């Protein structure tokens, strides 16, 4: 069995490419890196890689991670600027015994020395979004933190190897130097080929309070189906945050186990995800969360898919 599951509709082209490798018997590390690079390179996804939305100072600072579920190797970069594919730098760092999570200038220096492609990641479109938001914030107290989405993936290859990886430009208008859950092991991602892999999107500050990707892998290790593991972990953290703090930020998770079974859970409206397995063509689903915290999903209609692209590519009215 092989398969991949990923957060948001934006991942579908990536997992389609990744699935070609898996189908051909290739490695889960190569497949997930290929899949995430595809999302990083697409200029109209405004929360990952090229075209990602900038921080308060109009700089695109990105976080990314890679984990090998066989060896438990982890590599990650945080607040890195001006490199085309943060996920590849993260994967390269996963081969290091020490110094495998690098931030800002340190990460950039490493990437430069290793010959990774430099690229100005701030597009004119992202600048237009920025200028628009500055105006809106000045006009009224709009939460600067809406408008984000991380691509997070879990992958299983034919040999039974599992990987997890993430890439994001983080929260729009974040403070310079702010790091979310995405490059943090156990929070934004986790992979263990014996138990499964999981990844998160949502409000990093809250996702980190539950080490939620690890929690899901732990539950799968105890024998829970990925769907039950995702719902159990998300509902528990959501309830805990509400009880202790009065509110919970956005929490959305995807997971896969070593059998290629998968699951998702969310505490928001409008979460979408993409999945492909040996038995299933690449498919985008939309998730609905019931009152009881149980999540159901339906295949996104063609109309929804077309609308999605139209909105992504529509001109920005400043
Ligand atoms: N989790 C990401 C962060 O907090 C953002 C997102 O997934 O929407 O940086």
Per-residue pLDDT at 144: 44
Q: How many whole angstroms from 108 Cα to the centroid of ligand 1?
A: 21
What is d(CA 245, CA 223) in angstroms, rounded to the nearest whole number? Answer: 31
CB contact at 8 A, 39 and 45: yes
Q: Which of 11, 52, 170 to mutate to test the pocket of ligand 1 (most atoms within 8 A of CB)?
A: 170
Of 40, 31, 272, which is closest to residue 169 (Cα–Cα)?
Answer: 40
- pTM, to two decimals: 0.95
Q: Residue 101 corresponds to which tokens in the numbers above?
A: 């999570």
* Residues 80 and 86 sit within 8 Å (Cβ to Cβ): yes
pLDDT at position 147 is 60
Q: Which two tokens stand for residue 193?
A: 């080929």
- Give, using CA atoms, the residue closest to atom 4 of ligand 1: 204
Please pick, among 7, 34, 123, 150, the residue that the annotation labels catalytic.
150
Task: Determine the Cα angle at 175 with ends 191 and 197, to 5°.
Answer: 10
Contact 191, 166 (CB under 8 A): no
Pairing of strands 162-168, 151-156: antiparallel
Asked whether the beta carbons of 64 and 86 are under 8 A apart, the reply is yes
Measured from the Cα of 152, ligand 1's closest atom is 7
Query: Mean pLDDT over residues 46-53, rounded?
Result: 86
CA dihedral angle for residue 308, residue 12, residue 186, residue 205, rounded to 10 degrees: -10
Q: Which of 8, 60, 62, 150 to mutate to test the pocket of ligand 1 (most atoms within 8 A of CB)?
A: 150
| 149 Cα nearest atom in ligand 1 | 8
pLDDT at site 16: 98
CA of 137 to the centre of ligand 1 (A): 20
145 pLDDT band (50/70/90 cuts)?
low
CB atoms closer than 10 angstroms to residue 245: 11
**Residue 293: which pLDDT band, with cuts at 50, 70 and 90?**
very high
Handedness of CA 106, 108, 112, 116 (dihedral sign): positive
Q: What is the pLDDT of residues 254-278, one digit of tens each?
A: 999 999 999 999 999 999 999 999 9
Which residue ranges have their beta carbon within 6 Å of ligand 1? 148-150, 168, 170-171, 180-182, 201-204
Mean pLDDT of the chain: 94
Query: What pLDDT, on a 0 to 100 scale, did the predictor assign at position 139?
Result: 64
What lies within 8 Å, CB to CB, of 127 at 6+ separation is: 54, 58
Q: Is residue 150 annotated as part of the catalytic site, yes or no?
A: yes
149: region left, alpha or beta (phi > 0 left; psi from -120 to 50 alpha): left
pLDDT band with cut points at 50, 70 and 90 for residue 248 = very high
**What is the spatial order of strands in the sheet that 262-266 belongs to?**
189-192, 196-202, 251-256, 262-266
pLDDT score of 179 more than 50: yes
Binning pLDDT at 50, 70 and 90, where does residue 177 land?
A: very high
How far, in Å, is the centroid of ligand 1 from the Cα of 181? Answer: 7
**∠ at Cα 40 (35, 237), nearest 5°?**
80
pLDDT above 70 as % of the chain: 97
* Separation of CA 161 and ligand 1 centre (Å): 26
């Amino acid at each position: 069995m092989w398969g991949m599951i990923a957060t948001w509709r934006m991942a579908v082209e990536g997992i389609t490419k990744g699935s070609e490798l898996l189908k051909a018997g290739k490695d889960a590390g190569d497949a997930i890196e290929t899949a995430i690079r595809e999302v990083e390179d697409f200029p109209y996804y405004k929360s990952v890689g090229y075209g990602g939305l900038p921080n308060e100072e109009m700089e695109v600072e990105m976080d990314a991670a890679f984990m090998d579920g066989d060896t438990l190797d982890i590599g990650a970069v945080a607040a890195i600027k001006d490199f085309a594919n943060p996920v590849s730098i993260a994967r390269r760092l996963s081969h290091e015994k020490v110094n495998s999570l690098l931030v800002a200038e340190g990460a950039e220096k490493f990437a430069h020395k290793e010959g990774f492609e430099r690229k100005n990641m701030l597009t004119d479109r992202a600048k237009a979004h920025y200028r628009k938001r500055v105006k809106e914030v000045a006009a009224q107290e709009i939460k600067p933190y809406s408008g984000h989405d991380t691509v997070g993936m879990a992958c299983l290859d034919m040999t039974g190897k599992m990987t997890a990886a993430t890439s994001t430009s983080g929260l729009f208008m974040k403070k310079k130097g702010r790091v979310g859950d995405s490059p943090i092991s156990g929070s934004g991602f986790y992979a263990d080929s014996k138990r499964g892999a999981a990844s998160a999107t949502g409000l990093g500050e809250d996702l980190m309070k539950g080490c939620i990707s690890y929690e899901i892998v732990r539950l799968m290790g105890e024998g829970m189906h990925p769907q039950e593991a995702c719902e159990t972990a998300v509902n528990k953290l959501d309830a805990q945050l509400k009880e202790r703090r009065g509110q919970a930020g956005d929490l959305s998770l995807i997971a896969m186990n070593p059998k290629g079974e998968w699951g998702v859970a969310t505490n928001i409206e409008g979460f979408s995800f993409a999945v492909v397995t040996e038995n299933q063509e690449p498919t985008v689903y939309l998730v609905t969360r019931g009152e009881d915290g149980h999540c159901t999903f339906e295949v996104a209609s063609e109309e929804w898919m077309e609308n999605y692209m139209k909105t992504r590519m529509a001109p920005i009215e400043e």
